[in-house]
Structure 1
């Protein structure tokens, strides 16, 4: 559905990698689908001294490779480029922001969005510069992760930005929350009576949440070495997914109703005692190995990474939620680079039947597997009788493959989230108190690892599923990761 309100989308970092690979392709898909108002404008902002024609040439060169080629229409592409303006801007020069203000006055719009596709160190100076020329009034500001390095730095950024923009103006983006399958997780839970009675400790044995990547750190070695997997993936993506899986039914699918329930989960996470961290947290670092037949280097050999780095590229955690619904149910979280496959999934393992009247049960149990990537699907595993004589049971599954069932175009995560910003929908964005609760929970683990550099991360070969200690942690609870069952 097209948004009829005119908008101006101002993109700081307008020549950067994120803008080229994700943001502008997503806006093009929304444009192609007729979801953007005809009066909407996109203003690229960067230090480069382009004029408008030069910027369009840059977009032509770097964005077209990231848009779908199957039904590409040159006339649609050209009409998309007609939305663009460009402004060269130096953050240290107030006069540049005066010129930006004057440009935006010529682009009257009901909605003005400032998207900061920059490093977090530029968030506060950019917001202050916008406020110095009055551009904060009524605008929406989008902040990319990472928002800080720890709780203190996150609070410092939020405090400074919060002095300039009200909380309802701030959109902290987590692209995992924009995935179609995450929306379907909400629909599955709160649109069907079937699962709600089972979605609790009496019937759920354990839950696994995995985000695995085949890629290494690529050209981000210097950044990643200062960040690590716990900050890069757990504090935001994994804890957000956990909160959606475990939350109570919201009053409505509205911004604060959903975010209030997620916050209750994050505040119910059992605090991690530093003396127990070695039992509930595993960190690893990939060494050289082979992925899909191709040799790949170890982390310490990547560009920008010190040879003696102790930064973790893999994390596995056992998490508990201290409330009536989930008390005693372990949640196992896992993420890593250079793993055996690229996959993001949620596995809900239900308890075994208390007594089998049909004899021995085959390996496996009732479980629900929600695949977030690469192919979004939901699969329910159950037991069925094999054809023939006797009562031989086998595990079978019921599939909902979204790309086969729904023939409509499915939005990518960034497309949905950018449309939500333009339309003023906050439900899929992270509120400040959620972010604080997540940082507060992970900080003891960060502190303990920083205080114990000699212990370091456990090695694992690229192309495997991480260090053996991650499997041993689950074995202590009588379970295993999904891929190990087979």
Structure 2
């Protein structure tokens, strides 16, 4: 169904990998589903010497492969391409931004500027947009990473904030747009069943994992100056943590949701530098085998320093100092070249205080909720049931919410949802500045300690990371989900 929100979507970095893999495919899916106002236009901006036809040929070659499993509807694809214009732009030339302003002059609706560029270009682009008056009636989307640490993040936010009001700034974290994350909110705040259990009295521990089989690919130069703590923990993992642990907001409007997330981030127990070795594990992958194929060590990847001390794996024990969660450990984990590609949230409920079932008493972890974000998006509730036959013998069973089986409508990809939210002016799923500052403040002691200490612990590609990550959980009489079997 059509919306009544006209827009002009300007995509900086219009020939880049992110635009080809995520942004343009998401806009195409929204177009095919009739979710974009018919008059809406897309202007791709890049330095390449192309005219519009040349750019559309580039899009045909590089975007179609990344469209969802629904494939391409050629009629919808042709009409989608009609939305697209191309402007060659050199950030160092003020006259090029005049050219962009002229290209947008007669286009209606809200202006959306998506900066699919490196963070070093955020401030120059914003200032150049303001110099030609394009910061009015506009929204600006900033991709991660937003800075290298708290100081650099504040510098970017200060500069962008001089040009755009906070309500115009959309700091994107695509994990917040995933369907299971939205359903986590629905489960928690739409069902009386879970609310009484969602607290320290009934939750033993919580795990949040984002694991990748891939290495750094062609991003060695970027990654070697970033690392897993900055690239994944400071944003994705802490955002997921705040969604899991937040108090019920009084409504789902943008500030109500983000206020509650901020309270969680501010309640994170500060990490004493002297304790970092006990609650934080960093690793770096060495050569190994993934799905039968040999893969090289991180230090031999293109763009990576041979003596690099950059971490490709992080595991953390996190505590939240408030009444709901005091004493409950949250275990966060992320890494590259791990044994599987998976993102999931595991809520382990406490065992019953007394079992009347004798030797068939429930084992730890028998009651749990697993929210799978990728590759297949599901929510699974584990409980115990009696096995058929003689005697009271128990077995673990599960109740599934598999979205692709239960709902006939196709699922919306994370970028599609978030781009539509930008166009419609919905901020709830975007990171507010004070959230970002709170996250940086919490991770900085770890960053500083690791910068001053030795190298990460090695782990073989195709495994689940350093053994120290498992030992950290063993101290709390638990283990990572995949280790139970």
Question: Which bracket does the TM-score occupy, shorter chain normalised?
Answer: over 0.9
Runs of 4+ in 1 over 6 A off after TM superposition: none
Superposed, which structure 2 residues align to 1:183-194 within 5 Å?
Answer: 183-194=182-193
Per-residue deviation, 1:71: 4.5
Tell me how far apart the structure 2 counterparts of residues 248 and 451 of structure 1 sit (CA, whole Å): 37
- Number of the residue aligned with 1:407: 408
- Number of the residue aligned with 1:239: 238
Q: Deviations along 1:429-458, whole A, 9 cap, x unmatched? A: 000000000000000000000011xx2100
Return closer, same or farther for 1:85/1:342 CA change in 2, 3 Å cut-off: same
Contact 1:289 1:296 in 2 (8 A): yes
- Secondary structure of the residue aligned to 2:23 is helix
- Number of the residue aligned with 2:356: 357
Contact 2:43 2:86 in 1 (8 A): yes
Per-residue deviation, 1:70: 4.2
Contact 2:64 2:72 in 1 (8 A): no
- Secondary structure of the residue aligned to 2:358 is coil
Per-residue deviation, 1:396: 1.1
Per-residue deviation, 1:99: 1.3
Does residue 150 (structure 1) correspond to residue 135 (structure 2)? The answer is: no
| TM-score (normalised: structure 2) | 0.99
Q: Deviations along 1:111-147, whole A, 9 cap, x unmatched? A: 1100000000000000000001110012000000000
Contact 2:246 2:264 in 1 (8 A): yes
Tell me how far apart the structure 1 counterparts of residues 477 and 407 of structure 2 sit (CA, whole Å): 38
Tell me how far apart the structure 2 counterparts of residues 28 and 54 of structure 1 sit (CA, whole Å): 19
- Number of the residue aligned with 1:423: 424
Tell me how far apart the structure 2 counterparts of residues 93 and 472 of structure 1 sit (CA, whole Å): 55
- Number of the residue aligned with 2:40: 40
Contact 1:215 1:337 in 2 (8 A): yes
Q: Which moved more, 1:355-364 or 1:219-228?
A: 355-364
- Secondary structure of the residue aligned to 2:376 is coil
Tell me how far apart the structure 2 counterparts of residues 224 and 5 of structure 1 sit (CA, whole Å): 38
- Number of the residue aligned with 1:64: 64
- Secondary structure of the residue aligned to 1:332 is strand
Tell me how far apart the structure 2 counterparts of residues 371 and 68 of structure 1 sit (CA, whole Å): 19
Tell me how far apart the structure 1 counterparts of residues 326 and 370 of structure 2 sit (CA, whole Å): 22
Contact 2:355 2:362 in 1 (8 A): no
- Number of the residue aligned with 2:293: 294
Contact 1:206 1:348 in 2 (8 A): yes
Per-residue deviation, 1:84: 0.8
- Number of the residue aligned with 1:102: 102
Contact 1:141 1:170 in 2 (8 A): yes
Structure 2: segments with no counterpart, 5+ residues? none
Tell me how far apart the structure 1 counterparts of residues 12 and 397 of structure 2 sit (CA, whole Å): 50
- Number of the residue aligned with 1:252: 251
- Number of the residue aligned with 1:367: 368
Return closer, same or farther for 1:69/1:405 CA change in 2, 3 Å cut-off: closer
- Secondary structure of the residue aligned to 1:92 is coil
Q: Which moved more, 1:94-103 or 1:420-429?
A: 94-103
Tell me how far apart the structure 2 counterparts of residues 285 and 27 of structure 1 sit (CA, whole Å): 36
- Secondary structure of the residue aligned to 1:159 is helix
Contact 1:3 1:423 in 2 (8 A): no
Contact 1:362 1:395 in 2 (8 A): no
- Number of the residue aligned with 2:332: 333
- Secondary structure of the residue aligned to 1:310 is coil
Superposed, which structure 2 residues align to 1:167-316 within 5 Å?
Answer: 167-316=166-315
Per-residue deviation, 1:2: 2.5
Tell me how far apart the structure 2 counterparts of residues 196 and 234 of structure 1 sit (CA, whole Å): 27
Q: Deviations along 1:363-393, whole A, 9 cap, x unmatched? A: 4421111101111111111111111111111
Per-residue deviation, 1:72: 2.1
Does residue 444 (structure 1) correspond to residue 445 (structure 2)? The answer is: yes
- Number of the residue aligned with 1:17: 17
Tell me how far apart the structure 2 counterparts of residues 261 and 378 of structure 1 sit (CA, whole Å): 23
Per-residue deviation, 1:269: 0.1
- Number of the residue aligned with 1:459: 458
Could you say what the CA RMSD is over the residues aligned between the two structures, in angstroms? 0.9
- Number of the residue aligned with 1:3: 3
Q: Deviations along 1:170-212, whole A, 9 cap, x unmatched? A: 0000000000010000001001000000000000000000000
- Number of the residue aligned with 1:29: 29
Return closer, same or farther for 1:402/1:28 CA change in 2, 3 Å cut-off: same
Does residue 395 (structure 1) correspond to residue 433 (structure 2)? The answer is: no
Q: Deviations along 1:388-415, whole A, 9 cap, x unmatched? A: 1111111111111111101101110000
Task: Give aligned pairs, total.
Answer: 483
Tell me how far apart the structure 1 counterparts of residues 30 and 43 of structure 2 sit (CA, whole Å): 16
- Secondary structure of the residue aligned to 1:333 is strand
Tell me how far apart the structure 2 counterparts of residues 202 and 304 of structure 1 sit (CA, whole Å): 49
- Number of the residue aligned with 2:78: 78
Per-residue deviation, 1:68: 3.3
Contact 1:123 1:143 in 2 (8 A): yes
Per-residue deviation, 1:69: 6.0
Tell me how far apart the structure 1 counterparts of residues 468 and 162 of structure 2 sit (CA, whole Å): 45
